[in-house]
Structure formats: structure tokens, C-alpha cells
Amino acid sequence: MADDTETSTHIPKKTTKKQPPTHPLLSHPLNVFNLPPEILGALVSYNTVEDADKSETTISKEITESKLALSGLIGISTAGCATCGGLVFESVDEQREHYRTDFHRFNAKRKLYDPNVEPVNEEEFEEMLEEMTKSSSDTESTKSNASSQSSYDAVEALFKKHQPSIENDEFVRTTHQENSPYLWFSAPPVLREEIHLGIFKQIFPDHRHSDPIQYLKSAQIDGGEGDGESKRTWTMLMLSGGYFAGLVCVLNPKKTGKDSGMEPIVHKRFQRYTVRRKQGGAQSVHDQAKGGAKSAGADIRRYNEAKLQEEIRELLENWKDWIEKSELIFVSAPSVNKNIIYGYERAVLRRGDPRIRSFPFSTKRPAYKELKRCFSKLVTVKVSELDAESLKKFLSANDPAEELASKMESLVRATAKSKKPTPPQEPKKPEQTEEVKKLIELIRKGKLDLMVGHMEKCAISPTIRFETEEFKHTPTLLHVASLAAQPEIVSYFLEKHSADPTITSTTLKTPYDVAPDKETRNAFRRYMAENLDQWDWKIAHVPKGGGVSKNKQKDVEPLPSNQPPPKTTAIGQTLNKAISELDINLTPEMQARIEREKRARAAEARLAKLANRGSKPVCEMCKTSLVGKVPFARMQWQYCSTDCVVKHRALVG
């Protein structure tokens, strides 16, 4: 972090960067099992220091009184955010909207880092964000990486800029936490009072019921001498995502180099493809949740899981003697991976083994290099420096009674704000509801049956009017159906609900005007031909000239008087009826397929009638006799002219 970092109110200001402790004994990293005798003799456990200002009885009494006072306010239901300083909202929707803001995210990240930090108000957050934007825009790195800056998280950058030093504040953040991974010590007068030493709890036998200082004194290792029986051994195992790594090592604090602090006895690493790519999760977990997938990849992953389990258990069996002699066993096996290491018949490791520990920090992909890193972190003493003033401020902030009192005060303020009269919320307009949005989506997709069911279920009027800017071109459902080129839905609204086709939009367009294709316009014309007196069709802009069904018969030629009228119109009627009865949910490809099948059946029926009739050959289209003429042939049909060929092809496809 830069030395000249600017901060705003409630952010711990860092005027100068703290220098690392300069004591000669701290010039190099300290190993837990090879502490200098001067420090070891002066160690004092910070967790056992008693507070002289308040007795335990006084503290307990204050906590009880504060809890009783607070209990009367717990039942009050308010929508607020304690993370951002006790904000109160008028509704749950406002509260949810607040949780999505960068302002809340920033305060939440600071609260996770330090539970005792004061929240930043919205004005301060905006000022901090503006300062960071201005300062970052002047740097050469920002100019050269302008393309990547758009995807950079401003909240993350702001948090990193104002984040306190982890090295110096580790002691503050973890001393009074019940689940802290460290035990903290000091060594006055050898080390200054500001210097604190942190050691992971996981390396102690039982830090709650034993004396940690006494254990540290007895656990010191003078060197790597000694036979195999006297050497202290650790076992470390990692398993995650199809990767396994194991290590058995001897503690040797005197050893330096790439294997500093230990001597590896044996190590092994396996890798198998067991995780579903781009989706995550083991194949066995997916099978338990959704059933066994039938694919080549799933079969490979199942085989690899079984093979990996077999290899790991065989390895543990081979390492059984070393594992039994190990002083501590560190295991990292999240989720279902634990079943591979524990819980099987004649397992080498048992869940109740007191030597088994988990890693008290995040680990990366299992590998020998990662195991060495974790070992080094476990046996290295954490050195933190904190002045007396900051420590006193932290202790006062962590006082249980004062913490409860501050919570009670925040609740009182929140309650007072919640009692203020809130203006009644206006009911949502129809166009703002999710039901109407779904209805419009069904209309645009042409889902007639689903649309009708949705309207009945949600009690939506088919004559609903929209008045917002979003629907300036489609103020009615009839407009929406017409603009979406859905003639079936247009006919439904006109015939079933007598939708008004004369209503105009803000651009003075009727439903007929917004129709994008001929089929949709024909739906209006057909309804007009059957209901001329229902509406003023001139105002609806629907042109006159008769219905579409009448115009389709203009191209039919008159038949000779000596022949009975053929029943060719029945084909068209059958086709139209078939189209109208098609399920609205069928895809266009399925509709075309059904259409072809209908036409083929009609053609077969005509051929059968001609074969049974036994009369002279006639034109397939106009039924004119072909006796004495050279017919035009197409497939199994004959025609008197090319015009009949074209017309018949258009009819049957």
C-alpha cells in the first residue's frame, strides 16, 4: 500500500508504513520448534492475561443487563441494514435493492475483514470512489490498460486501497475471535510490548485444556540428530477435484533450502479426470442428484473415480507404518472426498483420531509443492506489531457489554425511524406487472392456448389499455398481436372478445396499420367481411373490397355444362380446416410436414376416384376432356395447358 494513501472519515488512516520489527532475534523467520531460548523463556500467552479494570462478575452482570434491555426490542420487525450503519427502509424491496449496491458491497467486505470497523456512509463512499477514479486516471498504467479497466471491479479496487495492513493488524483481527486459527504470545522484556507472536492452534495437542507455553518448551527440537524412532513425523494429505497429494516428513528445523524445516520421507501425487468440465462437481455427486448420465464422458469419470479411490487406499495401506508413527496428520479433503480417506472397512485413518487436523487456511490444488508451502506456513511464527494505543482502542471496541449497548442503541434508532408514517404505496399499473409481461410474451410467440389459459388464471382483461412510453406503438393487446404477425390471435381477439380495431396508438396507427404481413391483414379483412356493421372499418383503416375467402375463387374457370360440378373446393376447405385445427404450439416445420401429408392424401383420393370412374382422361385442374389433345404430364397427373399445370402445382405442392 502506498504511503500517501488518502482516506476519508471512519477509515483507519495510515500516515506512515509500519516497519517490520528490527530486533536481532526477528531478523529471520522463527520456527515453532526451534525458538530462541531468550524468547522461549520470556513467553507470555496473551489469551491468559486478565483484565484488571473489570472483574468477570462485573462483566457478566453488565452483559446480562444489556441483554435484558435488548430483548424488548428484538421482536420489532424492521427492514434495515446493520452493516451500513443501521439504515432503515420502507419496504423489503428497497432493502433488497440496497443489498445490490456497490455501497453495501464495500461495507460488507470491510465488515468481513474487520468486524469492529465503523461503516462508511453513502456520501463518504462516493467521495472515496471519486478520489480513486481521479487518481487512477492520471497514472500511465491506467492509460495503457484502458481496455481492461472497464471490466475492473471498482469496489474491489477501493477496498484494496483502504485495506489495513494484514501483517500489522493480524493480531487485532484474531485475538478475541473464538474461531481464530492463532494463539498469541508476547515476550517482554526480550521483545517490545508492541510485538506479538502468533502460532497456529492446530499444532497444539489441545490448546483449551493444556498449557501452550509448556508444550512449546517440550516440543523444541535441537537438530535433526537421532535414529528413526526418536524423530518426529508428520503426515499431510490433500484430495480435491481428482487431484491427490501425500507427504510423510520428519521435522527438522535446522534444515534449510527448498525443503526448509523438514526432511521428506516419501511423497506421492495422483491425478484423474473425475470432474465434469465447464460444469464442476464430481460425477458421483451429479449421479446422486440427477441420476446416472449415459455418456462416454460420464463413464470415463466414474471409472476414474473408482480407480482414484483404489489407488489412494492402496497408498495409505503402504504408508500405514509411517502414518501410525506420525505425531500429527493434516488432511484436506472437502465434500465427498472424505469418504475415500475415512469410513471404509479396515481404513488406515479413523475419523475420531485425535492426531487428525485440518489446514487452518485456504489451500490450492493438491501437489507436492503445495504441501511444502502449507508445512512452512504451519511451523512459521506469525509476527505482528501493534502499538498500545491501537490495542486499547481495539479492546474497548471488543468489550461485550459495550457491544450489546451499541446494538441496543442502533435498534432504538431504527425503531424510531420505522415509526414515522410512510406514504401509502400506489398500486402497480397493469403494464408493470409480471403477469402482463408474460401475456405479451406469449402473444409474440403465438402460443394461443397458453395465452388463453394465462388470461383466465390471472384474470387479465383482453381489452386492457397501456399508457406508458414502452407501449406507445401497441396500446392494446390487438396491437401487440398484429405487430407480432399472429393472425390466429388477432382473429381470437376480434371474434371472442370483440376487440376494438379502431383504437389508435400515439402515432395514430390502428392494429391493421401495424400488421407486418399479408396474412395478418387478411385476418382483419375476413372479420370485416362477416361483421360489416360492427365497427366503422374506415376509421380502423381496413380497406373495402370483400373478404379474402371470396377473392380466392376469381381464378376458377367455369366448367362445361355437360359435366357435373367437381368437388375440388372440398380440398381447399379440408386444408383450411386442418390448418385451423393445428396445435398452436407446433413448430413451423411440423406444420409444413402435416400440410404435405394432407395434400398427399387428397391427391390419392382424387386418383382413386378417377380410376373407379373409368371415364375418358380429363385435365387434373379444370376437368376439361383431353380426348384428341396432347396432354401436359407432371408426375402422375395430366393437364390441358401450362396454366393448369401452374395452378395445380400451387394447390397441391
Of 396, 418, 401, residue with least CA distance to 68 = 401
Residue whose cell numbers read 505482528:
384
* Contact assessment for residue 89 and residue 95, using Cβ atoms and an 8 Å cutoff: yes
Enumerate the β-bridge partners of residue 476. 465
**Residue-wise DSSP of 142-163:** HHHTHHHHTTS-HHHHHHHHTP
Residue 457: exposure state from Cβ atoms within 10 A (0-12, 13-18, ≥19): exposed
Catalytic residues: 283
179 φ, ψ (degrees, to nearest 5): -100, 25
Residue 430: what pLDDT?
A: 46
Residue 431: what pLDDT?
A: 45
Q: Which domains does the chain have, with CATH numbers?
A: 1-139+150-176+386-420 (no CATH), 226-379 (3.30.420), 430-551 (1.25.40.20), 569-652 (no CATH)
Residue 245: what pLDDT?
A: 96
List Cβ<8 Å contacts ≥24 apart for 336-343.
336/282, 336/284, 336/285, 337/239, 337/240, 340/239, 340/308, 340/309, 340/312, 340/313, 341/237, 341/239, 341/312, 341/316
485-522 CB burial, b ≥16 within 10 A, e <16: bbbbbbbbbbeeeebbbebbbeeebbbbbbbeeeebbb
Of 271, 283, 262, residue with least CA distance to 238 = 271
Distance CA 288, CA 286 (A): 5
The one-letter amino acid code at 476 reads: T
Distance CA 247, CA 259 (A): 12
Of 208, 228, 232, residue with least CA distance to 218 = 232
Q: Give just the sign of the alpha carbon dihedral 305, 307, 308, 310.
A: positive
Residue 147: what pLDDT?
A: 38
What does the pLDDT look like over 550-589, one tens digit per residue? 444 444 444 444 455 554 444 444 445 544 554 555 777 8
Q: Which three cell numbers stand for residue 198?
A: 502468533
The one-letter amino acid code at 470 reads: E
Distance CA 79, CA 95 (A): 6
| Largest distance between two CA atoms of the chain | 131
Enumerate the β-bridge partners of residue 196. 384
244 φ, ψ (degrees, to nearest 5): -130, 140
Under 8 Å CB-to-CB from 132, ≥6 apart: which residues? 154, 157, 158, 161
Residue 381: what pLDDT?
A: 92
**Low-confidence stretches of the chain (pLDDT beneath 50):** 1-18, 48-77, 140-152, 165-168, 176, 224-228, 419-420, 422, 424-431, 549-562, 567-575, 578-579, 582
Helix-strand-coil percent breakdown of the chain, rounded to 5?
45, 10, 45
Q: Which three cell numbers stand for residue 267?
A: 511423497
Residue 387: Cβ within 10 Å count = 13
Q: What is the pTM of this model?
A: 0.45
**Residue-wise DSSP of 322-362:** HHHH-SEEEEE--GGGHHHHSSSTT-SS-TT-TTEE--SS-
* Contact assessment for residue 251 and residue 234, using Cβ atoms and an 8 Å cutoff: yes
* R_g of the chain computed on alpha carbons: 41
The helix or strand, by DSSP H or E, that contains position 245, with its residue range, turns out to be strand 243-251
